[in-house]
Amino acid sequence: VYLKAIEANGFKSFADKVDIKFDSGVTAVVGPNGSGKSNITDAIRWVLGEQSARTIRGVKMEDVIFSGTDTRSEMNAATVKLKLDNQSGMFAVNNDEVIITRKLFRSGDSEYYINNERSKLKEIHELFLDSGLGRNAYNIISQGEVDTLLKARPEERRTLIEEAAGVMKYKLRRKESEKRLTETKDNLNRVNDIIKELE
Segment lying near ligand ATP (by CB under 6 A), choices 62-70, 84-92, 119-127, 129-137: 62-70
Residues sharing a CB contact under 8 Å with residue 122, sequence separation 6 or more, in sequence order: none
- Work out whether 20 is an interface residue with ligand ATP (CB under 6 A): no
Exposure string (b/e) for 56-92, b if CB count within 10 Å is 16 or more? bebeebeebbbeeeeeeeebebbbbbbbbbbeeebbe
The DSSP bridge partners found for residue 5 are: 21, 83
Please tell me whether 142 is known to bind a ligand: no
Segment lying near ligand ATP (by CB under 6 A), choices 36-44, 109-117, 124-132, 167-175: 36-44
Q: Sign of the CA dihedral 8, 10, 12, 17?
A: positive
Q: In the set 31, 108, 144, 154, which binds ligand ATP (CB under 6 A)?
A: 31
- Work out whether 131 is an interface residue with ligand ATP (CB under 6 A): no
Segment lying near ligand ATP (by CB under 6 A), choices 35-43, 91-99, 115-123, 190-198: 35-43
The DSSP annotation for 26-65 comes to -------TTSSHHHHHHHHHHHTT---TTTTT-SSGGGGB
Please tell me whether 34 is known to bind a ligand: yes
- Work out whether 144 is an interface residue with ligand ATP (CB under 6 A): no
Distance separating alpha carbons of residues 80 and 17, to the nearest angstrom: 10
Q: How far is the CB of 16 from ligand ATP (least distance, A)?
A: 12
Please tell me whether 9 is known to bind a ligand: no
Q: How far is the CB of 127 from ligand ATP (least distance, A)?
A: 26
Task: Kindly list the residues in this chain that would bind ligand ATP in the complex (CB under 6 A).
Answer: 12-13, 31, 33-39, 63, 65-67
